[in-house]
Structure 1
Amino acid sequence: MNGVPWESVIAVLGLAVPVAAALWEFFLAGRKRLGYRVQMDTSARDSATSSGPEAGVLQRMQWDGADLRDPSVVLLRIENVGWTPIVEDDYVAPANDPVGIRVAFPGRRVVGMVVTECSHTVLRDFFAPGTPGLGATDGVIRLPKVKLNRRAHYKVLAVLDRVPDFTEADFPDPEVMAGVVGGVRGGTIKKTEYYPFASRPVRWLLALLVLVSAAQSVSTFVRDDDTRAAPLDCAEGTLHLSGSTAFRPILEQAAEQYTKTCTDARIPLSDRSFAGSVPGLDTLAAQGDKAGLKDGRGLGDRLSFSDGPKSTGRPQLLPRPVALSLFSLVVHEDTGVRDLSLKQVRDIYAGTVTNWKQVNGNDLPVQLVSRNPGSGTRTALEQRVLDGRPLLAVTTSDCRSLDRSRAGRCEVADTPALLDTVASTPGALGHSEAGAATAHDGVRQVRIDGYPATLEGTDEGAYPYWETEIAYTYGEPPADSIAAGFLRYLANEVGKDIIRSKGHRPCSELDKPLLCRPSGP
């Protein structure tokens, strides 16, 4: 009986190692983990050996008019290093006790403390003055039961002084006391490494996986096989893209990278193809009808991208959600406005507010610069921000002829034209894809109800201006077609990197990829 081929053994190990690592990290050691890091703990003695007039600043610190005996400064970072959120009820403490974490400093008393950094601005509400559970007594800092999403953190900066009866030269390390229900190793808070990537057993497993991969690579190269298959996503032919001007920068970069990898593929891009979401869908539908496809076949050489779902009446067009896209309101610099409430935005677009001074801005008429009908960016504005209300009537067909003495509205064809028009028109307000607005120096983005255009804001349900970017095909494209290959490319790691680099979130990274919506309410 022949022995088992060593290539098969390597293949089995290659499968078993990542499975074991995933089970350990995600199900055993990565449920709920509360961690801390002491990022700084320095005393006046450390500064005494330094040179220069600033060296003795710590030694000259005072409290209530008296010099500190032996002052020291500690910077402590509290973080969620697990894979699930931590909420108030997770802390191991009585329900009527608002304190979630206690930090003791043996041999020292706390002179003062402040929370200096929060990974998300919403965390600052937990540390407002007078918050129950927040404070310091003698040598103990008390911190409230803070909700922490995965990888969320905050930092505490404390000034300490030596207590009179402590005579040892060096201070013991701070003692951090906390725990979470259901956490690993009893749920006790743990001191973490600089970056909590994985536990030691998992790192050993990953090292083994590297060895297995190296062995597989050696096995591959020593074979007498001169053929090299093309990447799975590669296909030959010409692919025609159309649709959203807001999503065009992503498609341009993805097309460039795809054709470099797949040398038999061609993806020509033109301004006429990217005239907006609805015109792109019209073009795709017309080309599919013209092709006269039979037997349920679909076009394999065309894709159209839309900011949001298609309208009814196009049953042949099939959706593939690609990314969650963020949009932003933008204004000319001289409006004096950086934040608007949702009601103020609706009043402006309803014509109730016609001068920026009515919303605490400068004395300038409001000039609305909008995209043409059929723009997905405009549709998202109407549906998600304006609650389904249509825009005001156009006052001029040419934005350059806007009457600067009174409020007005004009329309442009694409996102670059809108941003340029807002930047050159005093009192202008427009709407754009957030990444393009950030890259344009002549405009300023407007917060809505205090929230900027961020993915975190959409997840929390606080920022309303977003939409799902959807790729449409005419029918089901053949699996070996360039349309199918390009869609797979957008969904793989390279494509997702390109999508993230432009400020969007790939659908595959969301809780419900097929719906591709924010995870919050």
Structure 2
Amino acid sequence: MKKILGFLAVAAVTLLAGCGGGDNGESITAVGSSALQPLVEAAAEQYQTEHLGVFINVQGGGTGTGLSQIQQGAVEIGNSDLFAEEKPGIDAKKLVDHRVAVVGITPIANPGVGVKNLTVVQLRRLFTGEITNWKQVGGKDLPVVVVNRAQGSGTRSTFEKWVLQDRQPIAAQEQDSTGMVRSIVASTPGAVSYVAFSYVDATVRALALNGVTPTDAHVTTNEWPIWSYEHMYTRGQPTGLTKAFLSYILAPATQQRLVAKMGYIPVTAMQVERDADGNVVKRGE
């Protein structure tokens, strides 16, 4: 029995030494934007594979949750589709912004609506309830069914800022999850909503606006104006595993291997820059 216990003790020490990798079982939590969540999850999985013994917990909940949680110091990283300055109640001066990608946002519709292109005004009127049937915009005789992201969603705030332009949206069902929004639009005749480019698949139809298609190339020049930076905020300068993980996501190899391939746009690919007030200038000016 003593020999067995001795063997198990040695094995346990060896296993812990092998898994630790010098990181001593450190863990962090990143919470917030569901548009950014797939990228952070993929990066976390790869980082943990390469650095055994650490744990990176990634959760959604929306931009509002990410910013409020990081402001309170409840998590190590708050993921956001918005500048902290854009969110009421958030003290941006206490947070440090790490822009890890750009995400394009596109209106999507059930494939059966019979429409591929809208003007921005038409899209706005769909979401304000002024247009109630797809035949009013050249589509099928189907009632318009609006599906919104929940209040606090950065994707919703970005969409409303650049499409609704301070108009009041019609009361409609709201969903916390981007994946659920896509599922509802795909299965509901006449449904329309909006998602990050990375969530578009064959079950829904991405709509062009004023003849401009929702592509990365059009985002980089701001021809497609519905886009946002993907921010990973920290409370003060990051240290330890938080700093290492952010450096990993921002590394050129990760940007090439993950960011672009997952439907996001590397910040370095942008030909323009936009500030928290929506002002756009050419990069480097």
Please give the range of the TM-score, normalised by the shorter of the 2 chains: 0.7 to 0.9
Q: Aligned residue for 2:241?
A: 482
Match of 1:416 among 152, 169, 179: 179
CA distance in 1, matches of 2:153, 2:185: 17
**Bigger relative CO (Cα 8 Å, ≥ 6 apart):** 2
| CA offsets 1:361-415 (integer angstroms, 9 cap, x no match) | 000110000100011110010111222323222xxxxxxxxxxxxxxx2111110
1:420-455 CA distance string (max 9 Å, x none)? 111111100011011111xx3321111111112112
Note if 1:459 corresponds to 2:220.
yes
Residue pair 1:491, 1:508 contacting (<8 A) in 2 also: no
Q: Which residue of 1 aligns with 2:134?
A: 356
Task: Report sequence identity in percent.
Answer: 29
**Which residue does the alignment assign to 1:277?**
63
Q: Distance in 1 between matches of 2:155 and 2:63?
A: 8
Letter of the 2:43 partner, please give it. A
Q: 3-state SS of the aligned residue for 2:97?
A: strand
Gaps of 5+ in 1: 1-229, 289-300, 394-408
| Residues 493, 344 of structure 1: alpha-carbon distance in 2 compared, 3 angstrom cutoff | same
Report the secondary structure of 1:505's partner residue.
coil
Q: Does structure 2 retain, via aligned residues, the 8 Å contact 1:236–1:262?
A: no
Corresponding residue for 1:69?
A: none
**Which residue of structure 2 lines up, in the alignment, with residue 146 of structure 1?**
none
In structure 1, the partner of 2:231 is: 470
Which amino acid is the alignment partner of residue 70 of structure 2? L
CA distance, structure 2, for counterparts of residue 514 and residue 445 of structure 1: 24
CA distance 1:337–1:514, shift in 2 (3 Å): closer
* Residue 261 of structure 2 is aligned to residue 261 of structure 1: no
Is the CA contact (8 Å cut-off) linking 2:104 and 2:226 kept in structure 1? Answer: yes
Q: Which residue of 1 is the match for residue 11 of structure 2?
A: none
Q: Deviation of residue 492 (structure 1)? A: 0.5
Aligned-partner SS, 1:239: strand
Give the Cα–Cα distance (whole angstroms) in 2 for the partners of residues 344 and 235 of structure 1.
Answer: 56
Q: Is the 2:119–2:209 contact (alpha carbons within 8 Å) kept by the matching residues of 1?
A: yes
**Match for 1:308: what amino acid?**
L
**How big is each residue's C-alpha offset from its partner over 1:237-294, in whole Å with a ceiling of 9 and x where there is no partner?**
101011111111111110011011111311133xxx3011111212222235xxxxxx
Offset at residue 235 of structure 1 (A)? 8.6
Q: Distance in 1 between matches of 2:146 and 2:53?
A: 45
User: Deviations 1:315-335 (Å, cap 9, x if unpaired)?
Assistant: 322211111111111101111
Matching residue of 2:96: 318
Runs of 4+ residues deviating >4 angstroms:
511-520
Question: Aligned partners of 1:254, 1:461: CA distance in 2, in Å?
Answer: 27
Match of 1:421, SS state, is helix
Inter-partner Cα distance in structure 2 for 1:466 and 1:512: 12
List per-residue Cα deviations over 1:290-319 (Å, max 9, x = no partner): xxxxxxxxxxx6111111212253232221
Which secondary structure state, in structure 1, belongs to the residue aligned with residue 106 of structure 2? Answer: strand
| Pairing partner for 1:380 from 158, 169, 172 | 158
Equivalent residue in structure 2 for 1:446, among 173, 185, 207: 207
Which amino acid in 2 is paired with 1:240? T
SS at match of 1:274: strand
Offset of 1:512 from its aligned partner? 6.8
Q: Which of residues 82, 87, 97 is equivalent to 1:308?
A: 82
Relative to total residues, which structure has the larger helix share, 1 or 2? 2
Q: Which whole-Å deviations, capped at 9, do the CAs of 1:119-162 have from their partners, x for residues lacking one?
A: xxxxxxxxxxxxxxxxxxxxxxxxxxxxxxxxxxxxxxxxxxxx
The alignment yields a C-alpha RMSD, in angstroms, of 2.5
Query: 2:117 touches 2:210 (CA, 8 Å); kept in 1?
Result: yes
After superposition, residues 391-402 of structure 1 pair within 5 angstroms as 391-393=169-171
Report the secondary structure of 1:268's partner residue.
Answer: strand
Structure number, greater radius of gyration: 1
Sort the Cα spacing of 1:266 and 1:513 in 2 relative to 1 into closer, same or farther, 3 A: farther
Aligned residue pairs, count? 256
Change (3 A) 1:371 1:235: farther
* Of 320, 326, 329, the match for 2:107: 329
CA distance in 1, matches of 2:152, 2:266: 24
